[in-house]
Structure 1
């Protein structure tokens, strides 16, 4: 239907804006009542632009494996290509991101590369710092998977478990519940794989190792990354080596 009346168009625009504002307000109110607030993804705009500048200078390969997620990926960006060789990877970890940030930047941080697979590490900051409910995190992950498969129907998605850490022992039970839900998502979709990077960091009594972190007791040191990389490489090689 074509609308020619300018007043009608203006009125519809006002109504649409009002609906958007009401919806946004209700979402923010719901977050406040639930005791959490989704951080503004715009805080990572410069980081994403740096990736895009890198791509202009040296285009990333297509049909590779994109690695994205929070700082555990970001601090691995430089070493991941060697750690995962001969697999072809595009490291795109950014800051202390949460699942909603990957969802927001999915086109620019992953889909733009037309990857054959996408590996995601999120949930650590969601549960350990921002108090984002697991229901919300899972819904965001499912949306991400849906968007990946809508554009790249044969792409595999690898979801890393949240790792344990000394700094976030208090929220580890919540992260464990989230990990179990990640496993359920992978079990229900033949194109989704769960990678357990939690168990290799646990001691026999179930407590987290204490010699795998830098001074903040949150981020991994060299020993920690050796364990992390080996766990990820084992799963990726089993499924992705055939495509190299």
Structure 2
């Protein structure tokens, strides 16, 4: 529930509109089988919630590359925009090389990495908002399974593959060397945990074992989802 004592954040509306423009420019309307106008209509109802839930000070000292924190992210689900099509639309900040899916995903396996029961996005229209997003570099060097347990204890939720791609799409500067992140909200029933990191000067979607720590890989999480 939104605290009525908070005034709408002056930067939130502009940021929401920027994220919509980004998706339109990258061709998300076509991926979802819609015109740009119909796509804008699809996501428009989320704008008021983004503004209402975002504190006035959220963008006063906004440095996601340094802090790894983002107030909100507009997410398009894979039912509208397949991961295999959206990952190549990502780049590093200032980079030109497209993101890619690592070959360690055997053919057809990526489709099996889906949201778990607790991370399944709300709503039925394929778009939602993710609030209070953290890159989670405090978990660099931690075993992913332990990191997921800590995230749950804090009442937070790990990001899914689609949400990680959305974060990278809207805020590419959040993915930096030695501060990459796992996406523990999508699993396929085994010990593999999807993750985003940098390879060959481009973003890569790969996976790591649940019990193997990496000094450069944290655990991304969020405070809430809304549709």
Could you tell me the TM-score, scaled by structure 2's length? 0.27
Q: Answer 1 or 2: which has greater helix percent.
A: 1
Larger CA Rg, structure 1 vs 2: 1
Q: Answer 1 or 2: which has greater strand percent.
A: 2
Structure with higher RCO (Cα < 8 A, 6+ apart): 2
Could you tell me the TM-score, scaled by structure 1's length? 0.25
